[in-house]
Amino acid sequence: MKIIDIKEESIKLNLSLSNSMFSFKEMTTSIVKVDIDDGKSIQTGFAFNSTGRYACGAQMRNRFIPRLLSASESDLVDDAGDIDTKKALDVMLVGEKPGGDMERSVPIGTIETALWDAISKSKKLPLYKYLSQKFPEYNSTNRMFCYVGGGYYDVGKTINDLKDEIKKNFENGYRLMKIKIGGAPIKEDIRRVEAAIEAAGSADNIALDANGGLKKDNILTYAKELKDFGLSWFEEPTHPSNFSSYKEFISNYEGSVAGGENLYSTQDYLNLIKYGGFRENKDLLQVDIPQSYGISYFNEALIELKKNNWNVNKIMPHGGNQMSLHVACGFGLSMCEAYPNVFGVFSGYDDEYQLDDGYIDLSDRPGIGFEGQNELYRLFKDIK
Ligand code: MG
């Protein structure tokens, strides 16, 4: 098996929505296509760099694609002759200095994820099943609880619009929804939370996401005002790497807290759980896999986290897409995010998937299954 070509294209998302920190108006993402020759046929794998970090084609073209295409076959394959994604990761990391991970973890992770798509297609297996063969130590499943990441601030969007958004998602079969917090004055934000709970029927059907946007002068007020609501979790109350602030927030908020989607290395995750005051059975670690070196690296991170008593059932992938859904199922993670109608063609899952009381069953379509998302697949097919 060998890699014969890798291509990237930058796509603009064209969105008006925003969270507490920034608008998605300028946001782009990299879509990637890799061709591998498995000895019998050419298999094509696809991936995109999730949403929320900009396209990164320059790093791919300048460093990571040439390293992979010029590597010898023996540097990239396992004993069975299949492409070993861990070896591909090592090849991409040649000449890279420790630290400063995000500059390279996003392009590397996106290419690595596309390789998994191509290899599992060669094996005629859906990615989650191929993952269960490669990593049999996890409890893989084809059925995953999916929650909605939504409730964004948007131009002209009212509290009633937020309630309608929540009701619509629950009517469509979702049972848990996360809304943005910290982007309005605190009194208005609390009214949004109260309205969201009313629309969802119960506080534990609602989670909050501040996207690291609470400030020194309001973060503890948010913690104290919202601690007794009984919400499912409070995500990224503070800057992703401000571990002492996480710790202070947790001791004031007491309920479940989540974070990690803007961290990019195993060392970052270990720092968050150790110095951020994360509690093993209460708080949630969120990893954006294509943005943090990809799937084989995620497995290595899980091994290190396990040594620190952190369990996969307190880990969920960031990003609502087919890539995160397969990883959640393949590694038996706690749940998966979904973005119904939020990020245009990059939203959501296979066009045929139906919610069943909050759960989605994966089909047996080989690979990640982007071929089942018509509009997104059209973009992938046209990568030149
Ligand atoms: Mg988030």
Contact assessment for residue 68 and residue 92, using Cβ atoms and an 8 Å cutoff: yes
318 catalytic? Reply is yes
What does each C-alpha distance from 269 to 20, 54, 148, 262, 368 come to in angstroms?
23, 22, 24, 10, 26
**Which of 33, 129, 318, 326 is flagged as catalytic?**
318
Q: Tell me the pLDDT band of 107, cut-offs 50, 70 and 90.
A: very high
- What is residue 282's DSSP assignment? T
Predicted confidence at residue 38, as pLDDT, reads 97
Residues of 93-109 as b/e, b for ≥16 C-beta within 10 angstroms?
A: beeeeeeebeebbbbbb
The more confidently predicted of residues 343 and 158 is 158
The C-alpha atoms of residue 49 and residue 36 are separated, in whole angstroms, by 20
The C-alpha atoms of residue 217 and residue 303 are separated, in whole angstroms, by 38
Contact assessment for residue 154 and residue 17, using Cβ atoms and an 8 Å cutoff: yes
Q: How far is the CA of 372 from the centre of ligand 1 (A)?
A: 26
SS3 state at 135: coil
Q: How far is the CA of 306 from the centre of ligand 1 (A)?
A: 23
Contact assessment for residue 28 and residue 13, using Cβ atoms and an 8 Å cutoff: yes
Predicted confidence at residue 82, as pLDDT, reads 97
Contact assessment for residue 320 and residue 150, using Cβ atoms and an 8 Å cutoff: no
The C-alpha atoms of residue 318 and residue 223 are separated, in whole angstroms, by 23
Q: How far is the CA of 212 from the centre of ligand 1 (A)?
A: 8
**Which of 134, 180, 314, 326 is flagged as catalytic?**
180
Q: How far is the CA of 336 from the centre of ligand 1 (A)?
A: 12
Q: How far is the CA of 123 from the centre of ligand 1 (A)?
A: 34
**The residue to which tokens 């320059």 are assigned:** 58
In this predicted structure, the answer to whether residue 22 has a pLDDT above a threshold of 90 is no
The arithmetic mean of pLDDT across residues 249-260, rounded, is 97
The rounded mean pLDDT for the chain is 96
Q: How far is the CA of 328 from the centre of ligand 1 (A)?
A: 16
Q: How far is the CA of 3 from the centre of ligand 1 (A)?
A: 34
Q: How far is the CA of 5 from the centre of ligand 1 (A)?
A: 33
Q: How far is the CA of 150 from the centre of ligand 1 (A)?
A: 10
Q: How far is the CA of 122 from the centre of ligand 1 (A)?
A: 34
The C-alpha atoms of residue 138 and residue 160 are separated, in whole angstroms, by 42
Q: Which residues surround ligand 1, an ion (CB under 5 A)?
A: 209, 235
Q: How far is the CA of 181 from the centre of ligand 1 (A)?
A: 10
Torsion of CA 342, 346, 349, 355, to 10 degrees: 0
Model confidence pLDDT, tens digit, residues 157-195: 999 999 999 999 999 999 999 999 999 999 999 999 999
Model confidence pLDDT, tens digit, residues 122-146: 999 999 999 999 999 999 999 999 9
What does each C-alpha distance from 111 to 41, 70, 265, 330 come to in angstroms?
20, 15, 17, 19
What is the DSSP secondary-structure string of 160-182? HHHHHHHHHHHHTT---EEEE-S
Model confidence pLDDT, tens digit, residues 270-304: 999 999 999 998 999 999 999 999 999 999 999 99
The structure tokens listed for 42 are 């050419």
Q: How far is the CA of 250 from the centre of ligand 1 (A)?
A: 17
Q: Tell me the pLDDT band of 60, cut-offs 50, 70 and 90.
A: very high
Q: How far is the CA of 77 from the centre of ligand 1 (A)?
A: 36
The structure tokens listed for 364 are 């047996």
The C-alpha atoms of residue 176 and residue 206 are separated, in whole angstroms, by 6
